Amino acid sequence: MVVTRFAPSPTGYLHIGGLRTALFSYLWAKKNNGKFVLRIEDTDKARNSEEATQAILQAFEWLGLKHDGEIEYQSKRDDIYAKYIKQLLDEDKAYKCYMSREELDALREEQMANKQRTKYDGRYRDFDGVPPEGVEPVIRIKAPLKGEIIVRDGVKGDISFQAEDILDDFVIARADGSPTYNFVVAVDDALMGINEVIRGDDHLSNTPKQIVVYDALGFEIPKFYHVPMIHNSEGKKLSKRDGATDVMEYKNMGYTPEALLNFLVRLGWSHGDQEIFSMEEMIHLFNPEDINKSASIYNTEKLEWLSSHYIKNTSNTDLADMLTDYELILTSHDKKEILLDALKERAKTLKDLADMAKEILSTPENYDEKAAKKAFKGDAITILNTFGAKLSKAENPHMPTDYHHLMEEVVNEMEIGFGKIGQPLRVALLGKMGGPGLDVVMSVIGKTETMLRIANAITANTNND
């Protein structure tokens, strides 16, 4: 059975690169009817943030990425780590190192001066003397001094590392007894049955050290897939401006979960020329061995295109529910179908959709100066008065076609072009140019509100030339 995991550190918020790793791991587990484990790597007690932990869990809930079993917290597994550290000490596969900070700093300075790679020199590897006083030892693992460590990678192929070039006897437990990252990751992955690890290739340099831990403890080594990073359009590391921001900020910006997940799955993976994938299709088609070997490029326009696609193809009932997150309550509005049908073809995000709807539903408090100057000139006020009078006599106009017929009557009776009534009426209703059809706007806000807005515009712009 394939068992994958996502193991974020709650020292910061979940960013887009981490979410892509989580998605790939989730898809691969589900495709194989396996397990997807969520593990919070919270051993760094000084930097951990409960707020960041909650944000990670909120992101998973919002996106519908359901993990299997209980959430694992490394902070609750200290006894397990202590057991395996003791095992390595007892088997002479690890040892206590009494090297002081001053000694370590002096060694590094000397190595740098000699243009050597900075590393621990193993001086306590076979130490059997009297420990120095006043020094709390760290625990170091006995890493191989020579030979080859091969990482079996499903994306990059086999990668060979020379032990003498990359390893020293690295610390597996600090002086206060707390275990280090590369040790606990290997122990946890082994004990949790993680047999396929999908993660960013910024972790590749850690992998040989973790293999050393696996070998020392007699654990089976998982298969690794190191995924190339996500770059901006200039080929550089993503910044917050590019999109390397808290995942929940994407919700605030108005992207749907489906759009974001569809966007992410295409960052480094593809299936022919297909662009739109349902979750079922992602699970069916995804294979980590098809992940690109080169970095993927973050493209905001592609995300917006996907977002608009999903908005257009979402039912108005579901859209109304989703828009409550953007302070827009349409669930009981009798014209929500007309309003959303008119707007969702033009919206890139849910926030766009909410903002456009609010503009229609809110009485203008002022008028765009340039638009008003253009619209309220010549006989514009007379035209608005004529339309307002005709509307006041109309019996219960309801649908957009009812309002459109009234506009046609004014156009025909006054022998004017449609633009003559359209421009001043649009600015009167919305305070600006642009927006959906005027008949739709009037149908949505209703007869009374339409007449109020026309009256307000006439009063405010009577003196326009």
Report the DSSP beta bridge partners of residue 39: 72
- Phi, psi values for residue 307, rounded to 5°: -60, -45
Q: What is the DSSP letter of 92?
A: T
CA geometry: angle at 335 spanning 329 and 339, to 5°?
80
Q: What is the DSSP letter of 459?
A: H
Q: Which two tokens stand for residue 390?
A: 């005709």
- Tokens 């608009």 sit on residue: 308
Is residue 294 packed enough to be buried (19+ CB in 10 Å), middle (13-18) or exposed (0-12)? exposed
- Tokens 């202590």 sit on residue: 82
Q: Which two tokens stand for residue 156?
A: 């990059």
Q: How far apart are CA 391 and CA 377, in angstroms?
A: 22
- According to the annotation, is 240 in a ligand binding site? yes
- Asked if 232 and 238 count as a contact pair (C-beta separation under 8 A), the reply is yes
| One-character DSSP codes across 241-292 | TTT-S-HHHHHHHT--HHHHHHHHHTSS---TT-----HHHHHHH--GGGS-
Q: What is the DSSP letter of 392?
A: H
- Asked if 388 and 455 count as a contact pair (C-beta separation under 8 A), the reply is yes
Q: Please report, in range form, the residues annotated as the binding site.
A: 240
- Binding residues for ATP are 240
